[in-house]
Amino acid sequence: MLKIVACCVAVSFSTALFAQSLTPKVLATAGNYATGSGLSLSQTIGETFNKTLQNGSTILTQGEQQPPSGVIPLPVSWMNVSGDLNRNNQAVINWQVEEANVLYYIVEKNTTSGYVVIGKMTSQGNGDHDYVFTDPDVLTGEANYRIKQVEVDGKYSYSKIINLKTTINYSINVYPNPVITTVNIIVNNPALKNTMALLFDPNGKKVKEIWLMNSLEIDLSNMITGMYLLRFADQTSVKIIKLDKY
């Protein structure tokens, strides 16, 4: 009877060894196997290898499969990244992260030259943290933002892209145009308020420097007739036609 039991154990042990299809082969300590509809699913509870024994085609491994205690966590986990516009139409970028070994964050904004750096924030250290950054410039139209996290070893990664746009009309209203005496200017662009505009006469000569406010009037009654150019700080311009009479 003892010989029969030993034989059964040996067969069972051999089957467990050769049932594995992975390389290198692993002897699982526990697990399960199921099939259905042409699919198969297997799970094992075992250990990673720190010793391998081989006898012919039989391979036996032993060790620990659970992660070692010295595993270094991922540098950053982006839990939430979002953006919105404040009352001054400036982009406010927020991000919540679970971080480890991060040195600092860089906020980038896309421009005609590609993404440029508009801000930098030092990491608060390992753990869960919230960050807020406000773009110092007023947003006109639409822009994309992203955050670059830089690790202590120089490696880096990016957050998702945040797209923001404003629905405010940033046009410059000039009326009446053509004008005989006084022309009115309405400034709807916050970025141009409290900036200097230049008025050039039909000969290209600068004739006025105009400090822009929400609205103002320019007296052209003593100016020669022709086409004037009103140039703003952002290099956009408006043509104004000066007449003696309609």
DSSP-derived secondary structure for 100-144: SSEEEEEEEEEETTEEEEEEEEE---SEEEEEEEEEEEEP-SEEE
Q: What is the DSSP letter of 177?
A: S
Q: Are 203 and 234 in contact (CB under 8 A)?
A: no
CA distances for 176 relative to 13, 222, 225, angstroms = 97, 17, 15
53-57, 59-63, 76-80, 170-174 — most confident range: 76-80
Above 70 in pLDDT, residue 203? yes
Calpha distance 152→119 (Å, rounded): 19
Chain segment 105-133, per-residue pLDDT in tens: 999 999 877 899 999 999 999 999 999 99
In a domain, 69, yes or no: no
pLDDT at 187: 85
Q: What's the chain's average pLDDT? A: 78
pLDDT at 65: 47
Number of domains forming the structure of the chain: 3
Above 90 in pLDDT, residue 1? no
Instruction: Tell whether 159 and 179 lie within a shared domain.
Output: no
Tell me which residue of 235, 195, 230 sits closest to 213, measured CA to CA: 195
Instruction: Tell whether 18 and 51 lie within a shared domain.
Output: yes
Rg (CA), the chain: 36
- For residue 150, what are the domain limits? 76-165
169, exposed or middle or buried, with CB in 10 Å at 0-12, 13-18, 19+?
Answer: exposed
Region 188-212: mean pLDDT is: 90
Chain segment 222-245, per-residue pLDDT in tens: 999 999 999 998 888 899 999 988
Q: Of 129, 145, 165, at which residue does a domain stop?
A: 165
Instruction: Tell whether 95 and 141 lie within a shared domain.
Output: yes
Residue 182: both structure tokens together: 């006084």
What pTM, to 2 d.p., does this model score?
0.47
